[in-house]
Each structure stands twice: as structure tokens, then as C-alpha cells.
Amino acid sequence: MIDLHTHTLFSDGELLPSELLRRAEVLGLRAVALADHADMSTLDHVVPRIVRACEENNRHRRIRAIPAIELTHVPPALIGRYVEEARRLGARIVVVHGESPVEPVEPGTNRAAIEAGADILSHPGLIADEEARMAAERGVSLEVSARKGHSLANGHVVAVARRTGARLVLNTDAHAPADLIAEPFARTVALGAGMTPAEYEELRSNMARLAGWEAPSGPCGPETRT
């Protein structure tokens, strides 16, 4: 299993990067993205530390750590600028905190994240078909969430993706040890959201692509598999 959206003490998570990665490794995960929350004031502080944590992990552990970031409650007009800045600082995956049904995310955030070409729009709530079509065209993946609250709109997200061809990912949005899940429960979340087994396998392939699983090994990069 791959998880492309987790949080550590660098934002509001409970664990150090090293402990989160070790716990994920014991559960059988093969790659995890550290995607701590950041906004305009913290981005340049958080991303370099995540990059360092990933580099050190990948020298000594089999589980691959991917440097990422989740831009959170950033005004829509600024999202494009900070997606670019996150990548400049070393984030390999840029997540934007979408319009979840359980948080007061500013309207227009989903569209701004898609227009900016973020890699993942997390828990996008009641995303419109028009926005999902744009995500499909621009290669932005929509998230099916295993996290309480955010998961309330999973069925809608799956249905919209099916109609529009948008790609999906399934992440934990883990903040605490109990939030991490293994493959069997991830499958249950996907099927519970209305996905077919074939759609779930397509989702897994998309996540492997985003993780760069077939890329050459290197700092913060995965091992090549045969």
C-alpha cells in the first residue's frame, strides 16, 4: 500500500517523521508521503525539514518516504504561487486542502488548486463536475479519504470521477498512529465509497505513478521494482 497524505509534528500530527514512517513500515506500507499542513507563513520552514527527513529515512529503511506538503486554507488567489514555491523548495507531491464538508475552506479553493496543477486535491467535498473534468484534463488527482469527517463526501467524489474521468487516490490523512491503515482496510474504504474492484486497482496504479514507484532510486525516490 502507498499513502500520499500524512501529517507529523511539523504541523498538527502526533508523531515525528521517523516514528510515523516506522509505524507505516510495520503495517506493510511501501511508500508514504509526508504532507504536513503549511501556508504562506510556514512553507519555507516545513518543506526543507520534510525533505531532510525523507532523505535520511531512504538511506536506512526499506519504506520510501516522499517529501510533500498540504497547502491549507491558503486564499485561492495565492494557491498557484505557493504550489510553484512548494516545488521549488523540494516537495515532490503538492497536495491542496480541498473543500471538505467538515471545515470552513474558502469557496473557490478546489478550482484554484486544479488550475494551479497541484498533484492531489485532498477531500474535495461536493466538487462540481466541471471542476472534476478540469482535474481530469490537468492530471490532478481527487482524494478518497479514510479520515473521519472528510470521508462523508467519498461517495460523491467517486461518482463524479466516474462521470468525468478524473483520477482518484485513497489516503489516510493520518494525524495519529491509529489513523494509519493497511491494504485490506483501504480496499474496504474504496468499495464502501462505491468503487468497483477494477476501479480500485486503477486507483492503486495511479498512486504508484504519483509515488514515482518505477523511477530510479535516489534521495527521496523509490527503489526500482521488477
Residues 79-103 as b or e (16 or more Cβ within 10 Å = b): bbebbebbbebbbbbbbbbbbbeee
How many H-runs (helices) and E-runs (strands) does the chain carry? 8, 8
What is the tens place of the pLDDT at every residue in 176-186?
Answer: 999 999 999 99
**Residue 103 three-state SS:** coil
CA distance 90 to 2: 20
Q: What is the pLDDT of residue 220?
A: 47
Residues of the chain with pLDDT under 50: 215-226
Q: Which domains are present in the chain?
A: 2-210 (3.20.20.140)
DSSP one-letter string for 8-64: -TTTT-SS-HHHHHHHHHHHT-SEEEE--EE-TTTHHHHHHHHHHHHHHHHHH-SSE
What are 13-24's pLDDT values in tens digits?
999 999 999 999
The confidence score (pLDDT) of residue 148 equals: 96
Residues 6+ apart with CB under 8 A from 225: 213, 214
What integer pLDDT is reported at residue 213 of this predicted model?
72
Write the CB contacts of 57 (distance below 8 Å, at least 6 apart in sequence). 17, 18, 21, 63, 65
Residue in the structure block whose three cell numbers are 468497483: 196
Q: How far apart are CA 40 and CA 62, in angstroms?
A: 33
Provide the pLDDT for residue 181: 98
- Residue 99 in contact with residue 126, Cβ under 8 Å? yes
